[in-house]
Amino acid sequence: MLECMMLIRAYEERLAALQAEGAAAGICTAVGQEASAVGVIRALGPQDKILTNHRSAGHLLARGADPGRLMAEVLGRATGYCKGKSGSLHVSAAELGVVLTSTIVGGELSLATGVALAKKMLGEEGIVACFFGDGAACEGIFHESLNLASVWQLPLLYVCENNQWQAFVHRRETMAGDHVSGWAPGYGIRSMTVDGNDAEAVLAAATEAVAYVRAEGKPFLLETCTYRLRGHFEPDDQSYVDAAELAGWRERDPIPALRRRLLADGRLGAAELPAMEARVRDTISAALDYARSSPFPALSELTTDVYA
């Protein structure tokens, strides 16, 4: 989990640097939220489906996406997962069970019930995991989705990554309470809130939630409380963010937190860390080389794959 989190961080920071250089389009990062992505994805099985949002790189990489193909997609190259047509905001990868990435806030919530209903009607194995943020939870589609999932008893794991920010607006400006999980019981849906910056805690909570959805065939809402350490969309100077709050959350960065714990517990040897860091650097370097050397889509691709 630690190495995967490091890979996600390095991938997103490299893309942000490319954007700053004018070598890539703007992206939405999830720097600081890596523990949530890795912990939940690790609890899922290969037969499970995933729907996610505009901060999807962590979910995709944790699911096993090839960093080179992912970076090629963001750079608009034909070797990307969607032939360079999706950018960073609409990636889908059927072979990974990633049905879609929606840049429309709450868009994945509107479709997750349909994917879960299809699984139920077809008698397919597996569950559906839907990732969204606290901003999407403040939209009507969140409540419509939960209501239908409850009424239809769907095998659907809702994962609210509460990162405290809804674009440029703080959660406190749009929500009466601190947590989204408390809204689920009103629909007859079990829920849980977990420290989203603790990868092992997220894994334990997600494992419990997934087991429940799998065994009962009913929805569950897991809220991971985390923090977005970079701006809403690159480039973003975060001038709207309280400096003291940001500094406090940086102290709770999930990557050094897990690293310290593993070293202290003896589960990670000091000599292993440099090798891990080197693998991550080499992987990102190779991914960028692959993306840059890949061709752009041919003009003939302009109107292909419009519907599927």
Tell me the mean pLDDT in the region 16-22: 95
* pLDDT one-digit tens code per residue, 95-123: 999 999 999 999 999 999 999 999 999 99
The beta-carbon contacts of 245-251 under 8 Å, at least 24 apart in sequence, are: 249/32, 249/164
Contact status, residue 81 vs residue 57, Cβ threshold 8 Å: no
* pLDDT one-digit tens code per residue, 218-234: 999 999 999 999 999 99
Amino acid letter for position 273 = L
Instruction: Name the token pair of 7.
Output: 């890979």
Does this model's pTM top 0.85?
yes
Question: How far is residue 93's CA from residue 253's CA, in Å, rounded to a whole number?
Answer: 29
Question: How far is residue 142's CA from residue 130's CA, in Å, rounded to a whole number?
Answer: 11
| Res. 308: pLDDT tops 80 | no
**What is the gyration radius of the CA atoms in the chain, in angstroms?**
19
The listed CATH number (3.40.718.10, 3.40.50.970, 3.60.21.10, 3.90.1150.10) that belongs to domain 2-290: 3.40.50.970
- DSSP annotation of 298 reads P
Residue 265 burial (CB count, 10 A)? 8
Which position has the token pair 């999980």?
181
Tell me the mean pLDDT in the region 42-54: 97
> At 51, is the pLDDT very low, low, confident or very high (cuts 50, 70, 90)?
very high
% of the chain residues with pLDDT over 70: 100
| Res. 26: pLDDT tops 90 | no
> What is the residue extent of each domain of the chain?
2-290
Longest dimension (CA), the chain: 56
pLDDT value at residue 273: 95
Could you check whether the bond before residue 256 is cis, i.e. omega within 30 degrees of 0? no
β partners of residue 248: none
pLDDT value at residue 307: 74
| Res. 128: pLDDT tops 90 | yes
pLDDT value at residue 305: 86
DSSP readout, 1-33?
-HHHHHHHHHHHHHHHHHHHTTSS------TT-
Which position has the token pair 């949530």?
36
Tell me the mean pLDDT in the region 261-269: 95
Question: How far is residue 176's CA from residue 136's CA, in Å, rounded to a whole number?
Answer: 15
Question: How far is residue 169's CA from residue 138's CA, in Å, rounded to a whole number?
Answer: 12
Tell me the mean pLDDT in the region 156-165: 97
If one compares 287 and 26, the residue with the highest pLDDT of the two is 287
Question: How far is residue 194's CA from residue 231's CA, in Å, rounded to a whole number?
Answer: 23
| pLDDT, mean over the chain | 96
* Nearest Cα to Cα of residue 29 among 54, 50, 6, 7: 54
Contact status, residue 159 vs residue 222, Cβ threshold 8 Å: yes
> Chain centroid to CA 98: how far?
11
| Res. 236: pLDDT tops 80 | yes
Tell me the mean pLDDT in the region 166-191: 94
| Res. 187: pLDDT tops 80 | yes
pLDDT value at residue 306: 80
Amino acid letter for position 69 = R
Tell me the mean pLDDT in the region 5-30: 95
